Chains A and B, each alone.
Chain A
Amino acid sequence: MRLSASILAVALVSGLGTGAAFADKTVLDVTAWKGNEAEPAGLPELIEKFELENPDIDVELSYISRLDTDVVLPPRLQGNNAPDVMMTDMPLVKVWSDAGLLADLGTGSAWFAKVDPSLKPAITNGDAVHVMPLEIIGMGNFVNVGLLKNAGIDAIPTTIEDLKLACGKLADAGIKPLILTGSFAAPLFVVANGLENADGVAKPYGNMERQFAGDEAFGKALDTIRDLIDARCVDPAGQAGLDPWSTALTAFKSGEFAMMPQGAWNISDFSTVEGLEFAFAPIPSSKASGVALDLFGIGWSVSASTEKMDAAKRFIEFFADEDNLQIMLEAESAYSPFTGGRSGTTEVTAAYDKARLDGGVIMYPFAVLDWPKPLEKEIWDSLTGFLLDPEKSNDEVYERWDEAVEDS
């Protein structure tokens, strides 16, 4: 009896002690579409480091894909059951902050002061800030340097004229020059060249101050595509419907094609392909630098209904530290969103880095809300139709863009 009572007493005390330990720890519920095996983005390592430096906070990271985020989080936000911290992008920030579901992180924080001036207008809504940016990632032209060498080309093309010359040499050598899928690749090309022709000013097109139809800048961009078709760069009928996320990537990785516009997030995947010697370059354009089409991809936002605001802010500020953010940037081959920040890129992106330094940066307009999101799908669909029939007039294509802007 005495022994049983002793055991019971020890068990009780242990339980109380454990309970007390848990009571001291704050559990932070964090969701992200990075951090899994396919796209770790340095998150597992960073969370472990955060927990070591903040022993009173336990981070529970839940991976939710970007598509599923649209499905899973809104009911939780509406039902007052939101995660404390959520990975977001600007389209999500716009919808959720308009509904009052995101906390105002304030413009007085140390990290806000060092956000790149090109990003500040996008992330600021009046006096409120609802997202802390994590990275800027490049969208450019992947070049199979090995195939170019086989065709006797030493330099990576960054201008349209260089590209056309390279295409001719590649085609003569029996190498397919360029993948230009109707979804994603061709839109990157047209958006980059159209905006460069318009001196990088995107907003007026997105709020109907300017129309795409009849616009000289974007008209020239479509004419450029026709020139590339004539220069044997592209087999438009064969490529128009290729899936840019599966079959096109496989075709590039297997050495079927020499060049492909895509995002820098593919660098880590391409690096695992044995024998694939590649470079990440700017999108060829009329200027010598080419266009470095930067995408403001992801950031952290805090739920307005969180009861752990202090812990959430400490989590966010941890990522604003240069050394910590560098881990993520290296995993993502991305650039810092802060002025004077480092980058996680390697020699593979040397050509793209140069384009950024030479003033070739244009921000992808959807990621900074200059253009409404529904326009993106319409651009993909209309350019697929254009590649299937390049004789279509420019207005036929761009009227669909204007209609999509009007409907949004």
Chain B
Amino acid sequence: MFGHIFKYRFKSMIRCFDVIFWTLAFPLLLSLFFYFGFGSFFESKEQFHVIPAAVVVEKENPYISQLFEELSVKGEDQMLELTFTDREEAERLLSDEKVEGIFTEGDELGLIFKKNGLSQSILKAIADNYAQVSALIKERAVSDPAEAAFMLQSITEDISLNKEITYTGGNMDSMLQYFYALLAMTCLYGSFSGLINAEQLQANLSPLAARKVAAPAHRMKMILGEFSASVLLQTAIIFIVILFLRFVLGIDFGNRFLPVIPLAFAGSILGVSFGFFIGCIGKASAQLKNYLMIAACMVLSFLSGLMIGDIKMWLERSCPIINRLNPAALIADAFYSLNIYDSYGRYLANLAGILIYAAVFCIGGFMLARRKKYASL
């Protein structure tokens, strides 16, 4: 009986335009919108590691020249794209934002930049590192030229570490927040199938439900069969969205795939049970409940950074409790933690929060739906 109910619920959901549109097509369309909307970001991200800078040679310095040579070698590790020019031209390039900063080569390595940012921080780190070791380099160059060369190389390596901040293979791009929020929204949109389940299980909400209640099917088997089918479908949809983002749009979420499985599963349970719970409350029309649910999903997704990426950071500073309580923020943060942090602590804390929400909605929904007789139909 469970298998029979499960099979047909899965079939009917997969063919339901509303469910497939809102839970699958809409997130995919939104991801495309984000992708093309942030197109310039993704292009610039590719050049992020290669920072354009101008060099004004005031006095030839072989150590600095060697450093520049190492940092601008073409290939995967190239860090700087250098333009050797005079000061006037360099300043023009800087004011036109064609370069991020100007190095001055002389006895010392000087640096001029106009604004602050990650690129400028890296340029400054190069200049600072050189300043720290330059005296030693000059000293060793006489006694031990090999050691001097090694020290120069160490500057390059130190700077390289600045690029590889994460231990997870993921990246720190702030734009990814939008995609984490999008995945959270996809999970919450599982509530569409949860709501349909509720409508079709309670005799006072639809003739179809009344017909099902009149059948000799055990109430809990019916509820669980339909719920499980919806959760499975929603989990599959989340994976389709993740795979689309990763392999079609090329969004890098890091290399931790296994922990995504329980996260997607828990997110699906949360979404479906949320819709089921709303569907089971009161006798309001299905349409009204639908509107309420969409509004709730949109507000929660908004607060998790779907429309304004920085809102989550702003809330974290001004009212962190909202981030702790918002289920969409928990899901988005769980994806973020997986991508960024070496340890699983934050991911597990988020996962626990998601499961607690899911349990509350499940228990509430099941308690309301287990009714077998109704005061009116």
Asked if A and B bind, the verdict is no
Residues in chain B within 8 A of chain A (CB atoms):
none
Q: Contact residues of A with B, CB < 8 Å?
A: none
